[in-house]
Amino acid sequence: MSLKLFNTLSKSKEIFHPIDTNEVKVYACGPTLYNNPHIGNFRPIIVFDVLFRILRNIYGEENVVYVRNITDIDDKIITRANDLGFSTSDLVSKTQIVYQKNLESLNILEPSHEPKATEYISKMIEMINSLISKGYAYESSNHVLFEAKKFKDYGALSKFSFKDIISGARVEVAEYKKNPEDFILWKPSKINEPSWSSPWGDGRPGWHIECSAMIADLLGPSIDIHAGGLDLIFPHHENEIAQSTCYHGCKMSNYWLHNGFINFHGEKMSKSLGNITIVDDLLSIHDPNTIKYALLTTHYRQPIDFSDDLLTYAKNIIEKWEGFISDTNNNKLDNEFIMALYDDLNTPKALMRLQQLFNELKKSPEDDEISSCFNNGLKILGLNPVFEVKEISLDKEHIENMISRRLDAKKNKNYKLADQIRNELLNEGILLEDNKDGTSWKKI
């Protein structure tokens, strides 16, 4: 049984062969933190988290390196920071707190690295310098541009020709460009914009070079999988390929995976339609597993219609399943379930199989094998509050210990310490309740 993935580069499903099974390298373009993340930002995060879990399951946890970046410098960040009167770094830090909280609520595994673009400016400058000296890039009016025509495979990912690009107005025409399809590697900063010194004057990098620099630094010249949203194929990923390939002189990524859009009532989700659903708001109404289940009911490459009906449907299933979620030491996985996921992450089929396993489990709740298949399946999809159950049982001793320390503090009238202990536990998600029989606790 081998993992098959749809590769945008070949437009076909291919058997996945990593370059090195001891170090499988995956990169996914992460969000631009200019505002609290919306559900559209989380679709790639959730589906590529499932991919990360599958790869760890196949090659071993230690043998998969997953990088998901944070874009912390961008026009949208600058505009919003100026509107709010914040510095760009303050805006990103504030947004990142919410983003991090959302990731934890949704039980997303921590990637191996989570780099921020601004930490890699020197690498970007080094790459741009090298591209100029190799004749792929040129300087013009304090800008540095990549001359797309110089890269013979330009358009291989998007299948766009230069004619398509220009006639489709997919690129900006500007005086400082030799050709309309050339793209920015470096540009001057305006007043009130963050800037870094460079051989081409103070300025900031173009968006595309950010990912190329982070990949080069953290993963090296060639990676196994590069992933992101469908909207990134052109120009972002096409440009990443051009600059990375010309810089390193080898293929950038063997597999390119792209997830589809989220639609609201048939309309593609975009900011201008005003129908953004902020994840933080969704999480205040819905159980995290409901949101994840809803997103996984559609294959990741297909568009998904996100609606209240879908969330209600997901909620009903998750509520039924909840009573049967348990911890298991048995590693047994269901063959049919795994086969579905190995077939280009067919999560709708995998969820249907979990439903069948659930039906069997309901008839035979004591059957360890079915229970293991069901629960391990949930784990692979990251739909497992089991971790929370585990966490509590592991932390029980620590909680009891803290409660007795707090009781001692209260006896000694050290109320400050008692409150401190109570707050420490609260930060860990444990709420203490004092009653006539003593102190009880619950997970919040």
**Nearest distance from residue 28's CB to Zn ion, in Å?**
8
Q: Which one, 210 or 334, has the nearer CB to Zn ion?
A: 210
Cβ of residue 166: shortest distance to Zn ion, in angstroms?
A: 23
In the stretch 180-219, what mask flags binding to Zn ion with x, by CB under 5 A?
A: -------------------------------x--------
Alpha-helix runs per DSSP H in 297-334: 308-322
Amino acid identity at 143: H
Q: Which is nearer to Zn ion, 171 or 211 (CB)?
A: 211
- Kindly indicate which of the ranges 25-33, 116-124, 339-347, 401-409 contains the residues binding Zn ion, using the contact rule CB under 5 A: 25-33
Is 29 near Zn ion (CB under 5 A)?
yes
User: Residues, the chain, total?
Assistant: 444
Give min distance, CB of 432 to Zn ion, in A. 44
- Residue 36 or 239: the one with the smaller Cβ distance to Zn ion is 239
Q: Burial letters for 387-420: b for 16+ Cβ neighbours within 10 Å, e otherwise?
A: eeeeeeeebeeebeebbeebeebbeeeeeeebee
Least distance (Å) between residue 238 CB and Zn ion: 11
Beta carbon of residue 95, minimum distance to Zn ion (angstroms, whole number) = 18
Task: For residue 331, give the DSSP letter.
Answer: -
Measured from the CB atom, is 29 or 418 closer to Zn ion?
29
The minimum distance between CB 279 and Zn ion, in angstroms, equals 20
Q: Please work out, in degrees rounded to the nearest 5, the angle formed at the alpha carbon of residue 174 by the alpha carbons of 168 and 178.
A: 95
Specify the residue, 258 or 406, whose C-beta has the smaller distance to Zn ion. Answer: 258
Q: Does 317 contact Zn ion by CB under 5 A?
A: no
Residue 28's H or E segment, with its range, is strand 24-28
Nearer to Zn ion, 206 or 288 (CB): 206
Which range binds Zn ion by CB under 5 A, 26-34, 243-251, 313-321, 377-385? Answer: 26-34
Taking the C-alpha atoms of residue 292 and residue 258, their distance in angstroms, rounded to an integer, is 18
Q: Phi/psi at 126 (nearest 5 deg)?
A: -60, -45
**Of 128, 116, 115, 127, nearest in space to 88 by CA:** 116
Number of residues lying near Zn ion (CB under 5 A): 2
Closer residue to Zn ion in complex, CB, 211/279? 211
Q: Which has the closest alpha carbon to 442: 229, 433, 129, 434? A: 433
Of residues 26 and 425, the one with the C-beta less far from Zn ion: 26
- Alpha-carbon span 245 to 146, nearest angstrom: 12
Piece in contact with Zn ion (CB under 5 A), picked from 24-32, 243-251, 279-287, 372-380: 24-32
Q: Which is nearer to Zn ion, 3 or 29 (CB)?
A: 29
DSSP line for 56-120: HHHH-GGGEEEEE-BB--SHHHHHHHHHHT--HHHHHHHHHHHHHHHHHHTTPPPPSB--BGGGG
Smallest separation (angstroms) from Zn ion to the CB of 30: 8
Residues 359-388 that bind Zn ion (CB under 5 A): none
Shortest Å, Cβ 340 to Zn ion: 29
Instruction: For residue 157, state whether it binds Zn ion (rule: CB under 5 A).
Output: no
Kindly state the smallest distance separating residue 38's Cβ from Zn ion, in Å. 18
Reading the block at residue 303, the tokens are 């568009």
Q: Which stretch binds Zn ion (CB under 5 A): 28-36, 38-46, 274-282, 404-412?
A: 28-36
Q: How many secondary structure helices (H) and strands (E) does the chain include?
A: 15, 15
Residues 162-181 that bind Zn ion (CB under 5 A): none
Q: How many angstroms separate the CA atoms of 183 and 239, rounded? A: 8
CB of 114 to Zn ion, least distance (A): 13
C-alpha dihedral (185, 188, 193, 199), degrees to nearest 10? 80
Nearer to Zn ion by Cβ, of 211 and 304: the residue is: 211
Site residues (vs Zn ion, CB under 5 A): 29, 211
